[in-house]
Structure 1
Amino acid sequence: GAMGSEESLKHATRIIDEVVSKFLDDLGNAKSHLMSLYSACSSEVPPGPVDQKFQSIVIGCALEDQKKIKRRLETLLRNIDNSDKAIK
C-alpha cells in the first residue's frame, strides 16, 4: 500500500543513515551514492545518476520534510568534501 508522509520520511532517513554508516568503509562510493540521493531531491536536472527509488520515497514526504532531507544531504556532502580535504 501507499506509505503516508510520516512513513516516507522515516524511510528516507533510514536510507541516508545507511549510506552514512558506510562512509567509513568506502568514502568514494558513499559520496557518489549521496550525490544520487541529493539529485533525487533536486528540482534541477542533475549532472549525474538519480536514485529513482529514493526519489519516489522523497516525493511521498511532506514538503517541509523534503526540504529537511535535502538540507541534510547538502550538509553531509559538504562535510565529505571537507573531510576529503582534511585527509589529503
Structure 2
Amino acid sequence: MDNNPLPHIIECADCEGSVKPKERLVSLLDQIEVHVEQLRKDAWRLEEERDTLLTTLDTLRNNEMLGKLEETDRDDVLRYAERLSMRCLTVDILVKIQRDQIQQEALHQVNGLIDSLIVGLRDDPTTTRLRCASFMNACSSHGYGHSDKNFESAILGCTLDDQKRVKKRLQGLLDYIDKMHTIQLL
C-alpha cells in the first residue's frame, strides 16, 4: 500500500503523434489543476477541523460546570485545556487568498463586525445570537429573515472564497452560542 499517494498525471503514449504538443501540455496542466484544487480543499477542511477543536476547548474553558469544581480540580482542567489548545495552535495551515486592496479592507471590516459579536457574547448572548443570525442572512441570497445591511455591504466586497469562509465561521459561532445556551440550561 502506498503511504504517500502522489497525484498521478496520465499521459497518453498512443496520442503523441495525433495530439499537438501544446494540447498535451494543457491537458497535463488541467490534471494538475484538479489536484491543486483538491489540495486547497483538504487544507481548508483541516483548518476548519482545527478551528472546531479550538472552539470546543474554548467552550469547555468557559463552561459553568467549571465553577462547580474545587479550585484544584478546576485548575487541572483549565491547564489540560490550555495545553491542548497550545498543541492545536502548533498546527499552522495556510491557504492564501489573492485579494486586492478593496477586498482586503472589506474582509477587515467583516472580521471587525464578527469580533464585536464575540465581545458581546458574554454580556448578552440572546442579542448576540440575533445579530449573528442577521449576519448569516446577509451572506445568503435566500433572505430567511432580517439581514444586517452594514454587514451585507462589507461581505459583498470580499472574495467568493472569503464569503464562503465567513459564512462557515458565522455558522460555527451560531452553533457555539446554541451549545453554550444548551449547556447553561443543563
Q: Distance in 1 between matches of 2:151 and 2:128?
A: 15
Q: Distance in 2 between matches of 1:74 and 1:43?
A: 15
Partner of 1:14: 112
Q: Work out which of the residue numbers 15, 39, 63 in structure 1 matches 2:160.
A: 63
- 2:74 paired with 1:74: no
- 2:129 paired with 1:31: yes
How many percent of aligned residue pairs carry the same amino acid?
Answer: 33
Q: Distance in 1 between matches of 2:170 and 2:141?
A: 14
The secondary structure found in structure 2 opposite 1:4 is: helix
Unpaired stretches in structure 2, ≥5 consecutive residues: 1-100
- 2:148 paired with 1:41: no
- Report how many residues are paired: 85
Taking only aligned residues, the RMSD between alpha carbons, in angstroms, comes to 1.0
The secondary structure found in structure 1 opposite 2:181 is: helix
With normalisation by structure 1, the TM-score equals 0.92
Higher relative CO (Cα under 8 Å, sequence separation at least 6) belongs to: 1
Unpaired stretches in structure 1, ≥5 consecutive residues: none
Structure 1 runs of 4+ aligned residues shifted over 3 Å read none
With normalisation by structure 2, the TM-score equals 0.45
